[in-house]
Amino acid sequence: MGSDLTPPSLATLVAPDREIELKLAAEPASLAALWAAPALADHGRPGPTRRLETCYFDTADGRLQRRGLSLRVRRVGRRYQQALKAGGNGRGLHLDRGEWEVPIDGAEPELDRLPPPARELLGLVLPGELKPIFTTRVRRQIRHLDAVEIACDIGEIEAGARREPIAELELELRAGAPAALYELAVALHQQAPSLRLETRSKSARGYHLAGLASAATARKATRLELPGDATVGEALVLIVRHGLEHVVAHAAVAAAGADPEGVHQMRVGLRRLRSALALFRDEIPAERLGWLKAETKWLAGALGPTRDWDVFLAETLRVLLRRRPQDAGLGRLIAAAETARAAGYEQVRAALADPRYSALALRLGLWVETGFDDDAGGSPRRRLPMRERAGRLLKRRHKRALAAGQDFAALSPDARHALRIALKQLRYAIEFFRSLWDDDIVAPYHEALAGLQDVLGHMNDMAVAERLVGALAAADSHAGGLVVGWHLRGREALLDHAGADWRRFAETEPFWR
């Protein structure tokens, strides 16, 4: 990786009140070795090494955190530096947030030193309201490239009696476009595959350690909005970026294993990504496309079994348990399922710790930032308006769905499964492109499709449950019989429902004509 040695021009410098950074984490020992290795000498000129002690503050009611702010005072030697950071929930792989940093006289925050925009974000904070929540102590070593500054932080976070180690590389963008961060990250990861993409800020980790992570800071899904005049190339970047961010944003929750949403949303994100790759296959260089398909398939496969157990436990077994709370056989079945689920989460954690995951995220992140341009440049078809093409793509998927659902009432389970897949592909395409049309003409079609998918989804959950019961062969067959019997009753009713929903969907006018 040869870096361009022309100094950044003023026009491309990142504004002083903005921070754009990408983080890679590793075990402290391997990070220390990487930093000391001659390979890193290729990357930039060494800078100073400092010991930093940083204290983070918030009000008793956690207002700053709830509003996505972090206020900290850092001691460097005998000097103090106060920083307010905003928008730190970072939806994407890299953090892009407001930052106001200023020297102050002591260890306590001095809100007067914040400029008006920062002050307004902070709101009214009364004297004595701010209290220290957690502290980080790190040894920071820096290397300077022209567009990027690399900081290696090794140390710990401390919140009350609890401590957690920190070992991270922070790549901060000084000038130019964020693609530079990803280029560097991909190169570093290739040299040191033990580096992992880290999307949580130190602040988020600190609040979590202090037991104060609020539900409000959990990432909210954003809706994809394509501008009406978007070109094919622009749409490709926006859609893939949205899908990638969705996957990466839920990795931490998936690894923690406490909330089924983590794995669920990662799988939804992966399905969307794969759907997008299919829609834009003519625009993505073949080699990259093949690699992406393989890697996303690998990751989805690693997450799949766990999702099945989550749904089985939460939907089927929970419902049954409510009706028969004393059933011992059911209790044993649940215990067996929970053991299987725990094993599934071990597999999830292993996959997310695997270099393959970070390699996928970082390389796809880089291609998104560079617009998928390869050395041959972009194909000229990328400059065509997306809307026209979107109509043709939707029509194709719509036709496939109709064909897959022919003779709906007589479909075999396999054929129903194929129909579900065709409907999902259609649904993702609708969601990608819907903002190119008026919401009120998209809505009826979208609703009819969603209604049908719901019913088919329930039926699929039943089929999966039966498969899982069979897999838990050692479990009580009486309880297994309960599950199957419960489903048999429900399935008849659902089939009738499904027929009506299918007719409704098949008869709804496509909106893209």
CB of 439 to another protein, least distance (A): 22
Task: Please say which residue, 71 or 422, places its beta carbon nearer to another protein.
Answer: 71
Q: How far apart are CA 402 and CA 457, in angstroms?
A: 17
Task: Please say which residue, 32 or 125, places its beta carbon nearer to another protein.
Answer: 125
Question: Is position 222 an interface residue for another protein (rule: CB under 8 A)?
Answer: no
Nearest CA-CA partner of 4 in 111, 138, 148? 148
Question: Is position 492 an interface residue for another protein (rule: CB under 8 A)?
Answer: no
Nearest CA-CA partner of 226 in 389, 9, 373? 389
Q: How far apart are CA 6 and CA 265, in angstroms?
A: 42
- Lookup result for tokens 């009580």: 476
Q: How far apart are CA 278 and CA 294, in angstroms?
A: 13
72, containing H or E segment: strand 69-76
Task: Please say which residue, 123 or 301, places its beta carbon nearer to another protein.
Answer: 123
Instruction: Dig out the tokens for 402 from the structure.
Output: 């109709």
Task: Please say which residue, 129 or 438, places its beta carbon nearer to another protein.
Answer: 129
Phi/psi at 107 (nearest 5 deg)? -75, -15
From candidates 9, 10, 16, 120, binder to another protein by CB under 8 A: 120
Determine the interface stretch with another protein among 113-121, 220-228, 403-411, 415-423 (rule: CB under 8 A).
Answer: 113-121
Question: Is position 59 an interface residue for another protein (rule: CB under 8 A)?
Answer: yes
CB of 124 to another protein, least distance (A): 4
Task: Please say which residue, 66 or 332, places its beta carbon nearer to another protein.
Answer: 66
Instruction: Dig out the tokens for 142 from the structure.
Output: 């820096």
CB of 133 to another protein, least distance (A): 17
Determine the interface stretch with another protein among 107-115, 377-385, 404-412, 431-439 (rule: CB under 8 A).
Answer: 107-115
Phi/psi at 15 (nearest 5 deg)? -60, 145
Instruction: Dig out the tokens for 21 from the structure.
Output: 């950074």
Question: Is position 215 an interface residue for another protein (rule: CB under 8 A)?
Answer: no
CB of 149 to another protein, least distance (A): 31
End-to-end CA distance of the chain: 49
Determine the interface stretch with another protein among 43-51, 56-64, 173-181, 346-354 (rule: CB under 8 A).
Answer: 56-64
From candidates 32, 111, 289, 450, binder to another protein by CB under 8 A: 111
CB of 66 to another protein, least distance (A): 8
- Helix 286-311 crosses helix 328-353 at what angle (to 10 degrees)? 160
Residue 104 Cα distances to 85, 132, 344, angstroms: 16, 16, 50
| Contacting positions for another protein (CB under 8 A) | 59, 61, 63, 66-67, 111-112, 114, 116, 119-120, 123-127, 129
